[in-house]
Amino acid sequence: MLRPRSVLITGASSGIGRALALAYAGPQMRLALIGRDGERLREAAQSAASRGADVDIGQIDVRDRAAMQAWIAERDTRIPFDLAIANAGITTGLSDDAVSEDPEAVRALIATNLIGVLNTVEPLIAPMCARGRGQLAFIGSIAGLRGLPYSPAYCASKAAVHVYAESLRGRLERKGVLVSLVIAGFVKTPLNDSISSVKPFELSDTQAAEIIRRGLARGKATIIFPLVLYFAARFGRVLPARLTDRLLAQFDVEVPKTKERVHS
């Protein structure tokens, strides 16, 4: 079992990231929490600190490469991270009658969900390899397994994260650095609440964080939940593509357009 003592979590001011911070919080734990909303981030940090953790907060936009590099590298030099969880993310989608997503929303999403992930792990790859230990975790999604007609850019961003994590795993594990990919289904969070659809097998953020924490402690390459939804998505890939398209079109799903912009 891996027992990380120093953990970096992005997107810790809400939802899964906040629940992860609380799941790891305890005596002799050092948590470095990143988010943008100062009030929510401080609340998460205080809750983690009340469980005995030593908590450091970084009010940083994960899209800001220079700020991420400086903040993460400075902390890693002082107290090396055992585990980094690239969790921060947003969603955007198509309204009912729209045929294309707002280009500005799409670029903000890619900047957060993909470039933000690179900005999180890049500062740690070389130091962790040099130490010959460490763990990088990526929060992917079942939506990254097959393109969905409701949210093309979100699916593309998560598919990219999945493939990136896989590639790193093949490269870094020889150097002693574990790479774990989380493929999550519906988790009740503000992000998920904004989506209107049926949400089969939805978990609470606390349940999801506990599954992730246990999977990471076991050093799993992939942490998948719920399995039923995962296999349904995989099955959708083996069916003829247009048949799956037609099946997906039966669902009434509304994913609102994000208000995020690249320079917001």
Ligand X SMILES: NC(=O)c1ccc[n+]([C@@H]2O[C@H](COP(=O)([O-])OP(=O)(O)OC[C@H]3O[C@@H](n4cnc5c(N)ncnc54)[C@H](OP(=O)(O)O)[C@@H]3O)[C@@H](O)[C@H]2O)c1
Span of 168-176, 179-187, 212-220, 229-237 interacting with ligand X by CB under 6 A: 179-187
Taking CB under 6 A as the criterion, the residue among 112, 120, 135, 180 binding ligand X is 112
Candidates 24-32, 56-64, 166-174, 230-238; binding stretch for ligand X (CB under 6 A): 56-64
238 Cβ contact list (under 8 Å, min separation 6)? none
The C-alpha angle with vertex 215 and arms to 129 and 65, in degrees rounded to 5, equals 45
* 254 sits near ligand X (criterion: CB under 6 A): no
* Rounded Cα gap, residues 154 and 264, in angstroms: 19
Q: Is residue 56 near ligand X by the rule CB under 6 A? A: no
- Residue 258 makes contact with ligand X by CB under 6 A: no
Is 16 a binder of ligand X (CB under 6 A)? yes
d(CA 240, CA 106): 28
Binding ligand X (rule: CB under 6 A), the pick from 29, 31, 45, 88 is 88
Could you tell me what percentage of the chain is helix, strand and coil, using 3-state DSSP and rounding each to the nearest 5? 50, 15, 35
Which is closer to ligand X, CB of 90 or CB of 125?
A: 90
Question: Minimum distance from CB of 131 to ligand X (Å)?
Answer: 26
Interacting span for ligand X (CB under 6 A) from 37-45, 123-131, 231-239, 250-258: 37-45
Burial class (CB in 10 A: 0-12, 13-18, 19+), 263: exposed
CA distance 218 to 137: 12
The reply on whether position 118 binds ligand X by CB under 6 A is no
Nearest by Cα to 127 from 78, 188, 164, 90: 78
CB-nearer residue toward ligand X: 90 or 211? 90
Q: Rule CB under 6 A: is residue 17 a binding residue for ligand X?
A: yes
Residue owning tokens 């629940």: 19
Considering only residues 141, 151, 244, 258, which one is a binding residue for ligand X as defined by CB under 6 A? Answer: 141
Look up residue 214 and give its two tokens: 């246990």
Cβ neighbours around 194 below 10 Å, total:
15
Site residues (CB under 6 A) for ligand X? 10-17, 34-37, 40-41, 61-63, 87-90, 112, 116, 139, 141, 184, 186-187, 189-192
